[in-house]
Structure 1
Amino acid sequence: MTIQHTPPSTYILRELHDVAVPESVSWLPQTVGWKVLAIIGGMALLYIGYRYARFRWDNRYRAEALQAIVPLDPKDPAMTSELFSIVKQVLIYHDSGYARLFGDAFLAALNQLMPTQPLFDDELAIQWVQSTVNPNVPLTESARATLKERAALWVKSHQEKASSVEQRSALYPWQWLKGQRHG
Structure 2
Amino acid sequence: MTQPAPPGSYILRDLNEVGLPDHVSWFPQTLGWKIVGVVALIILVYCLYQYTRRWWQNRYRLEAIKVAESLSLDDPKFEYKLFVIIKRVLGHLNEKHQALYGDDFIKVVNEFPVKQPLTLEPILGQSWVSSLTSQKACLVNSDKEKLKLFCLNWLELHQNKEIQ
The two structures have a TM-score, normalised by structure 2, of 0.85
Aligned length: 163
Q: Identical aligned pairs, as a percentage?
A: 35
- Deviation, 1:5, is 5.1
Structure with more relative contact order (C-alpha pairs < 8 Å, separation 6 or more): 2
- What is the correspondence of 1:13-52 to structure 2 with a 5 Å cutoff? 13-52=12-51
- Structure-1 separation of matches of 2:66 and 2:115: 24
* Paired letter, 2:123: E
How large is the Cα RMSD of the aligned pairs? Answer: 2.4
Q: Which moved more, 1:76-85 or 1:24-33?
A: 24-33
List alignment gaps of at least 5 residues for structure 2. Answer: none
Partner of 1:122: 122
Any conservation in 1 of the 2:115–2:157 contact (CA below 8 Å)? Answer: no
Runs of 4+ in 1 over 6 A off after TM superposition: none
- Structure-1 separation of matches of 2:17 and 2:77: 90
Partner of 1:177: none
* Paired letter, 2:13: R
Partner of 1:79: 78
| Aligned partner of residue 13 in structure 1, secondary structure | coil
- Structure-2 separation of matches of 1:8 and 1:68: 82
List alignment gaps of at least 5 residues for structure 1. Answer: 170-183
- Deviation, 1:86, is 1.0
Any conservation in 2 of the 1:74–1:144 contact (CA below 8 Å)? Answer: yes
- Structure-2 separation of matches of 1:71 and 1:14: 85
| Aligned partner of residue 125 in structure 1, secondary structure | helix
- Deviation, 1:54, is 0.5
Any conservation in 2 of the 1:69–1:148 contact (CA below 8 Å)? Answer: yes
- Structure-2 separation of matches of 1:10 and 1:118: 93
- Structure 1 pair 23/62, CA: closer, same or farther in 2 (3 Å)? same
* Paired letter, 1:92: G
Any conservation in 2 of the 1:107–1:125 contact (CA below 8 Å)? Answer: yes
- Structure-2 separation of matches of 1:26 and 1:78: 67
- Deviation, 1:64, is 1.9
Partner of 1:140: 140
Q: Which moved more, 1:107-116 or 1:89-98?
A: 107-116
Deviations 1:89-146 (A, max 9, x none): 1111111111232233222211222273223133112211121123232211221122
The two structures have a TM-score, normalised by structure 1, of 0.77
- Deviation, 1:28, is 2.1
- Structure-2 separation of matches of 1:47 and 1:64: 26
- Structure-2 separation of matches of 1:8 and 1:71: 83
